[in-house]
Structure 1
Amino acid sequence: MAAALVLAMAASTTPALAHWNGTGQDIASIHIYPYSYNSTWQTPLNRALSNWNATSSPANFYKSSNSGSTLTVKSYSNTWYGYYTRCGGMCMYVKLNSRTINRDASNWANFVTSVFVHELGHALNLAHNSVTSIMNHSRNRNGMIKPQPHDVSDVNAYY
């Protein structure tokens, strides 16, 4: 009986602590219009895409000139670092706030990567949580720059 319970638990596709918000994209292969910023920004932004693509999940972020999805980096008066908005099942808008990032980052490139990886997590339907996760508001943005095992597990279970 115990072996059957363990087997049933192993076959379950939903992590016990899954954190989804259902406001992300319909599929995990997500295109974004090619963004062009100076190399100071471009490198950590591209690293964010690569960090998701390197996971053992179906996440696949790529640039396409046919995409309606955009990334905008500029100074906003708001207090947030990044903001994700769904504009359809195959469309997203991501904004990064250069004002708050520049103000609070001690490792600037890592901070930018962490914020963008987090916003891409929302595109993958991930919700905020309080575990060791890129989706945790209290994470160390100067150090955590990759999706964590919990994030990958949630994406794998969702898609």
Structure 2
Amino acid sequence: MALSDLRARNAKRKASRLLAATLAGIVCVSISATPASAHWNGTGQLIARIGLYPYNYNDTWQKPMNKALANWNATSSPADIYKNRNSGSTITVKSYRNTWYGHYTRCGDSCLYIKLNSRTINRDASNFSNYVTGVFVHELGHALNLAHNSTTSIMNHSRNRDTMTKPQSHDVSDVNAYY
């Protein structure tokens, strides 16, 4: 066999290996891509371990807010939400003119602001404690990169805020898939 034929055969083998490796990479990317059912907004925190500056409200607010942290921490997700005096992330409860119940804002890779609207919550809650817990769990969902959706989810804008107080299986799956 001539030297030029050997070079041509080796070049074909290299090209075949490169093509096989490329196709394998594409298959891996396709398999690990975002699930079709995932609902992420990408505006949350970089990691699921979130420190919040300790908030201090009367027991009417404090207990359901603490329950919201416990509800996320009790899931099988990597969510670890805790109070830390060195955190720049804050939770504020006050009466806002806006119509929302809660509002999440990202202020950096590991910084967030959550506002709970006492005006709308007091006005609309039948079960105040559950309402506060559910709204806060929802806003923490945004911090964990979850977007609104229309499934059985704490992130469903039309959920029953008087009864749904915990992340649902869909929420936990989305957090697990994201992190």
- Per the TM superposition, whether the score is higher than 0.5 is yes
Residue 154 of structure 2 corresponds to 134
Partner of residue 77 from structure 2, selected from 48, 57, 81: 57
Shift of 1:13: 7.0
> 1:9-50, CA deviations, whole angstroms, 9 ceiling, x for partnerless residues?
xx7574331000000000000000000000110000000000
Q: How much is the aligned-residue C-alpha RMSD, in angstroms?
A: 1.2
**Is 1:38 the counterpart of 2:54 in the alignment?**
no
> 1:43-65, CA deviations, whole angstroms, 9 ceiling, x for partnerless residues?
00000000000000000000000
SS in 1 for 2:66: helix
SS in 2 for 1:26: coil
**Is 1:83 the counterpart of 2:103 in the alignment?**
yes
Gapped regions of structure 2 (runs ≥ 5): 1-27
**Is 1:156 the counterpart of 2:156 in the alignment?**
no
Give the distance between the partners of 1:102 and 1:15, measured in 2 at CA. Answer: 37
Residue 121 of structure 2 corresponds to 101
Contact 1:13–1:157 (Cα < 8 Å) also in 2: no
Give the distance between the partners of 2:83 and 2:128, measured in 1 at CA. Answer: 23
Q: Which has the larger radius of gyration?
A: 2
Q: Percent identity between the aligned chains?
A: 77
Residue 70 of structure 1 corresponds to 90
SS in 1 for 2:141: helix
Give the distance between the partners of 2:32 and 2:108, measured in 1 at CA. Answer: 29
> 1:52-109, CA deviations, whole angstroms, 9 ceiling, x for partnerless residues?
0000000000000000000000000000000000000100000000000000000000
SS in 2 for 1:137: coil
SS in 2 for 1:92: strand
**Is 1:145 the counterpart of 2:165 in the alignment?**
yes
Alignment of 1:24-35 (within 5 A): 24-35=44-55
Normalized per residue, which structure has more helix?
2
SS in 1 for 2:173: helix
With CA pairs under 8 Å and 6+ residues apart, which has the higher RCO, 1 or 2? 1
Residue 22 of structure 1 corresponds to 42
Q: Which runs of 4+ in 1 moved over 2 A?
A: 11-16
Give the distance between the partners of 1:14 and 1:105, measured in 2 at CA. Answer: 36
